[in-house]
Chains A and B, each alone.
Chain A
Amino acid sequence: MINVPSNWQEFTEGLWERNPVFVMVLGMCPTLAVTVSAINSISMGLATTFVLAASCWLVSVLRHLIPKEVRIASYIAIIATFVTVVDYAIQAISLEMYEALGAYIQLIVANCLVLGRAEAHAAKTPPLGATLNAVGMGLGFTLGLTMIGGVREILGSGTLLGVSLFGPNFQPWVVMVLPPGGFFVMGGWLLLFAIWRKYRDKILSTPEKESVHGA
């Protein structure tokens, strides 16, 4: 029973420690395609969070009923169902947002993150833990998208959430809202995290060595 994580641990796992965007690098297509602005990123992230949570809950509830041989097909069918729900919901709530995100909402089906979590986690965990974990992963995904989207929006159009930051004289760095910008910002964040991790390891490892010496 020692290895069973608490509900809180289930929830926080995906938020930062194993962030889907920056650590696991899953679900890259929407990550790069829709993150031209922060608001797009947030909506896409929340839509994915809903699909992820709902699918993981259902997969977890049905985990003893689905035969092993057809599990992937069953998971895909479950995911596709919830994506259709989200697709029609967004269309009803905000047609503008629907047009901005376009086919990428439906492409949540092919987001490796959703299938990956259903297969790797939800299929082995009771419903409550699976759902909490999925919500955490989804919010971590939203966070990652927003961090990329925010940077791209600030650099590429000089705004954040539609509010102008630098006044009318700002010369936007247009390439950031174009496709190459997505690659560069994402690569830049990964680079930043790699440097930070190296720096942190250096700090953490020094006192440990000393204590070994002392012992």
Chain B
Amino acid sequence: MVRESLGQILVTTILSGNFVLAMFLGMCPFLGVTHSVSLAFPLGLATTFVIVIASLSAYAINIVLSLLHLEFLRLICYIVVIAASVQLVEMFVKKQSPALFRALGIYLPLITTNCAVLGVALFQTARDYNFTQSLTFAIGGGIGFTIALVLLASVRERIQLSDVPGVLQGTAMSLMLAGILSLSFMGFAGLGGGA
């Protein structure tokens, strides 16, 4: 297997292999919180932070578990670490910005069940990334997630001003918009030599 360079991983995860639009990770916040840019951006940042922490811890856990031949415990360990780091972010946001904490509401603790976070940990294990590759993968994934969230939120803010047929309102509309976004992100395919 040819080792991907760090630049390749970064470009792939942000653009052509975007977590949300190409790999369908983290759909719940993607559809739930993207009413406004002012919510989408901080949630994207919080998720990015959790993704990076989760990726680093997953890397360490994987080494320990491989040494002990306890690979079947991998999944349980990953999810516990993710839950713990989400708790950390939650406390941090609550302290720093109570208004934001209230606005994000249930979606903040729900980062725990965000597939993107667990997905990073699982994919980096499956693809056998080394330390720097994992870190780049996590950061790229987080940035890509934030970009997708902000893009959809901006489009939805504009859509609110226009006249949408009644039956199309709500989730169906968001999914169609996401499909069009995903279509345009496919234009990046081949960029960075990945995907």
Contacts and interface: CB of A to CB of B under 8 A. Distances in A.
Interface of A: 25, 28-33, 72-73, 76-77, 80-81, 83-84, 87-88, 102-103, 106-107, 109-112, 115, 175, 178-184, 186-187, 190-191, 194-195, 198
11 contacts: A28-B28, A29-B28, A31-B27, A73-B83, A80-B75, A106-B75, A107-B25, A175-B183, A180-B186, A184-B179, A190-B172
Contacts of A115: 113
B123 interface: yes
Given A84-B76, A110-B115, A194-B167, A28 B31 contact: yes
A88 B186 contact: no
Given A109-B75, A109-B79, A194 B122 contact: no
B108 to A, nearest CB: 13
For the complex of A and B, the 4 pairs showing the least CB-CB separation, nearest first, are A183-B179, A187-B175, A28-B27, A33-B24
A162 B148 CA distance: 34
Contacts of B179: 180-184, 187
A103 B28 contact: no
Contact of A179 (B21, B79, B175): B21
B72 A102 contact: no
Contact of A187 (B22, B114, B122, B172): B172
A25 B170 CA distance: 11
A179 B115 contact: no
Contacts of A186: 175
